[in-house]
Amino acid sequence: MEASELHDLSDDADYAASQLQGSASMMRCDSDKRSRSSDPDAAELIYLKDNVAIHPTQFATERISGRLKLTKQDALLFLSWIPYKGQTSNAKLSEKDRNLYTITAVPFTEVRSIRRHTPPLGWQYVIVVLSSGLAFPPLYFYNGGVKEFLATVKQHVLLARSAEDANVFIVNDFQSRLQKTLSSLELPSSLPVASGQSTYPLDEVYSNENQGGTSAGIDNRVSNVSQYGLRKQKSHDPTRDLSIHLLEKFSLVTKFARETTTQLFSENNGFGSAGKRWNNQPVHSYPEKLSNIVEEKHDQNPHSYPEKEHLNDEEIYNDIDVPADPLEFNKLSLVWGKPRQSPMGSQEFTAFLDSEGRVVESKALRERVFYGGIEHHLRKEVWPFLLGYHAYESTYAEREYLRSVKQMEYATLKQQWQSISREQAKRFTKYRERKGLIDKDVVRTDRSFEYYEGDDNLNVNIMRDILLTYSFYNFDLGYCQGMSDYLSPILFVMEDESEAFWCFVALMERLGPNFNRDQNGMHTQLFALSKLVELLDSPLHNYFKQNDCLNYFFCFRWILIQFKREFEYEKTMQLWEVLWTQYLTEHLHLYVCVAILKRCRSTIMGEQMDFDTLLKFINELSGHIDLDSTVRDAEALCICAGENGATSIPPGTPPSLPLDDGIVYSLDDDVL
């Protein structure tokens, strides 16, 4: 990792005064109760600091000085502190005392966090907290050097500043499952469709879902989009060759740590009754006449509801017994999942408006978009309604006035960072960090599409300006990698810088929690997903539990950027506008996750996938998922789950419902 990629620790003084604390009362870890490996002979010395002391008592004179070391072997980082022999400052401290405090080769996989203390007067020290909750005594740096110590640690493990305490740094092991999940995200490149042969028979998993399940107007929709220069198929996208470090991928989205998994999915998960209600609840029982209903519906409309063929478990998986799907998923979607319609055109949309431009029945409009989508040329008019930027009750005149007001407001916001001089930028660390990150991201976001293709592309520059402006508009959240993925289709559709900015603002009001430093938004969504799978497919949920996959981190990419990497550009826009309607539920994206997992359950359980294999399999589904059938499946699952599904999702789980009056509100109002 390059030094420039490390979190900037130069702002330590900004936090010291406000975070000054007294001596912490920490539990001392007895070395006899821990089994630690000695420093490996072949270990590489990464860091060494002399005159680092431990104070066994409250008196500064009674200290034990020693040498602090960081070593590395087999990609693991180890922490050691060895006291000097015969160099105690007090005769009362025996050799036994010194040995008691010795820290011998503790791997950072067992470290939860590092607390830093930099008082204006006195010595700097750190406290290393283990995953067990115990902590070593404070390590005092008599010659300074805490910043260098943390910077060195950060070069070899993931170190993220805590949102609750700026002097606490959360430690994540690069070998943890979440990190493997994050490492699989290829945010700088476009969708890796057909980017190599899949290891698994993915096309067979969705074998017959393309037959008869495509929207009636899809060919017309794609041809319309091509007029706007949507994409050019390329055999090779050079941006995919960029190797992006984990910290560059998600900036602040790094708070997950291994121990949060047990907190998230334990009995006492902190989400109240909604989190506990279904722990022992059996899967929903459905009528025995389901098969008869399916046959009747299929006879009535055989082309709209094609029967899906699934893999022959006996032929592929030999003697492995795959538990049956309790919902008879293939039949379920035929009963409750409606077929997709042709996209809504201008004439049909006009019928939803009165003479002054108000949407007469917003629910009917959202239902129409949910089942058919929108013709591309009409999206710039309808998307602002779906995102909450325009109120459904607004008139033509009111929307035009809002555009002019918001255009001036955007120009004012943009001027804030445009007016920063070179000298001021040198003293504005956050601005430099965010600008540098945005500059890196925009040049590798969807660059294989003609709209963003080529050197000195004006649209790429506009996207950069919008993201920089947003980082000043919402300074607390700032910019996180992944945001450019959301902005790209919005700018492509709106074709106006100011309008794209405000639509993006409206979207971030819903999805901003995905990028919060404390990651509570992602925590709650993964937890809700686990409960929905438990409700709708308990055998699959139990399989994940038995194979240590209950954290559902393999679905992290799906949720974070809402399937942007799983579908082609046009398909992504179709899915997003379905999700934005929030017609059946504001959490349809979670049911989409369940639908994909259930469609692949035979492959997952039949091949006895562990976490690593499952993560690879999930990533290779990209470009092989049929959108229309997946949305139909998700609709059926949502209807069947009913109130049980709704109560499985903790209150406040993103995305939040849009405001009834759009975003025409005072900035002092409570947004969420």
Last residue of one domain, picked from the residues 156, 177, 198? 177
Whether 168 is in a domain gets the answer yes
Residues 510, 525, single domain; the answer is no
φ and ψ at residue 551, rounded to 5 degrees: -75, -15
Residues 226-237, mean pLDDT to the nearest whole number: 41
Task: Name which of 243-252, 331-340, 494-503 the model is least confident about.
Answer: 243-252
Peptide bond connecting 201 to the previous residue in cis, omega within 30 degrees of 0: no
| pLDDT above 50 for 195 | no
Model confidence at 210: pLDDT above 50:
no
| Rounded Cα distance, 559 and 593, in Å | 8
Would 496 be classed as within a structural domain? yes
Q: What's the rounded mean pLDDT across residues 408-433?
A: 94
Q: Which residue has the higher pLDDT, 380 or 138?
A: 380
Residues 423, 525 within the same domain: no
pLDDT band, very low/low/confident/very high, at 142 (cuts 50, 70, 90):
confident
- Is a pLDDT exceeding 50 seen at residue 285? no
CATH code of the domain in which 573 resides: 1.10.472.80
Q: Give per-residue pLDDT as tens, 423-461.
A: 999 999 999 999 999 999 999 999 999 999 998 899 999
Q: Among 336-340, 401-405, 548-552, 648-652, whose mean pLDDT is lowest? A: 336-340
Last residue of a domain, one of 136, 151, 177: 177
Q: What is the mean pLDDT of residues 175-182?
A: 54
Only one residue has tokens 């992944």, namely 482
Tens digits of residue pLDDT in 124-135: 889 998 877 777
CA-CA distance, 347 to 350, in Å (whole number)? Answer: 5
> What CATH number corresponds to the domain at position 442?
1.10.8.270
Residue 49 sits in the same domain as residue 171: yes
Residue 365 has pLDDT above 70, yes or no: yes
The residues, any chain, with a CB within 8 Å of residue 560's CB and separated by 6 or more, are 185, 250, 253, 482, 514, 522
Number of domains making up the chain: 3
**Quick check: 116 pLDDT over 80?**
yes
pTM for this predicted structure: 0.61
- Is 416 in the same domain as 430? yes
Kindly state whether residue 258 falls inside one of the protein's structural domains: no
Residues 532 and 556 grouped into a single domain: yes
Q: In angstroms, rounded to a whole number, what is the distance separating the alpha carbons of residues 18 and 117?
A: 11
Segment 329-335 shows an average pLDDT of: 62
Q: Is residue 454 part of a domain?
A: yes
Q: What is the mean pLDDT of residues 377-388?
A: 97
Please report, rounded to a whole number, the percentage of residues in the chain having pLDDT higher than 90. 43
- Residue 163's pLDDT is 75
> Which residues are CB-contacts of 252 (< 8 A; sequence separation ≥ 6)?
160, 478, 480, 515, 516, 517
Interval 453-497: pLDDT, tens: 998 899 999 999 999 999 999 999 999 889 999 999 999 999 999
Residue 68 lies in a domain: yes
Which range has the worst mean pLDDT, 86-90, 207-211, 252-256, 570-574?
Answer: 252-256
| φ, ψ (nearest 5 deg) of residue 124 | -75, 145
Residues 564 and 440 in one domain: no
Reduced to 3 states (helix: H, G, I; strand: E, B; else coil), residue 297 is helix
From CA 569, how far away is CA 220, in angstroms rounded?
Answer: 16
In DSSP terms, 88 is beta-bridged to 64
Residues 501-506 have a mean pLDDT of 97
Same domain assignment for residues 454 and 552? no
Residue 337: the pLDDT is 67
**Alpha carbon of residue 276 to chain centroid:** 24
Q: Are the beta carbons of 525 and 146 closer than 8 angstroms?
A: no
pLDDT of residue 90: 53
Whether residues 473 and 589 fall in one domain: no
Q: How confident is the model at residue 307 (pLDDT cuts 50, 70, 90)?
A: very low
pLDDT at 87: 56
Q: What is the pLDDT of residues 72-112, one digit of tens each?
A: 888 789 999 988 876 555 545 566 666 677 888 889 888 88
Q: Where are the alpha helices (DSSP H) in 419-519?
A: 422-426, 429-442, 458-473, 483-494, 497-511
**What is the number of alpha carbons within 13 Å of residue 258 lying toward its C-beta?**
20
Statement to judge: residues 423 and 538 lie in one domain: no
The stretch 298-322 carries a mean pLDDT of 43
**CATH code of the domain covering residue 130:** 2.30.29.230
Q: What is the mean pLDDT of residues 573-591?
A: 96
d(CA 187, CA 244): 8
630 lies in a domain? Answer: yes
- Over residues 261-280, mean pLDDT: 38
Residue 15 has pLDDT above 90, yes or no: no
Query: Are 406 and 464 contained in the same domain?
Result: yes
pLDDT at 202 (0 to 100): 52
Domain edge (last residue) among 481, 514, 547: 514
Name the band, by pLDDT with cuts 50, 70 and 90, for residue 412.
very high
In a domain, 123, yes or no: yes
For residue 140, what is the enclosing H or E element?
Answer: strand 139-141
- Classify residue 595 as exposed, middle or buried by CB count within 10 Å of its CB (0-12, 13-18, 19+): buried
Those residues with Cβ within 8 angstroms of residue 50's Cβ, 6 or more apart along the chain or in another chain: 67, 143
Residues 548 and 580 placed together within one structural domain of the fold? yes
Strands (E) across 14-75 are located at 44-54, 64-73
Q: What is the mean pLDDT of residues 344-364?
A: 96
Q: Which domain holds residue 588?
A: 520-648
If one compares 17 and 563, the residue with the highest pLDDT of the two is 563
How far the first Cα of the chain sits from its last, in Å, is: 38
Which residues make Cβ contacts (< 8 Å) with residue 558, sequence separation at least 6?
566, 589, 592, 593, 596
Same domain flag for 527 and 458: no
Give pLDDT, residue 593.
97
b or e along 166-185 (b: 16 or more beta carbons within 10 Å of the residue's beta carbon)? bbbbbbbbbebbbbbbbebb
Rounded Cα distance, 577 and 575, in Å: 6
In a domain, 2, yes or no: no
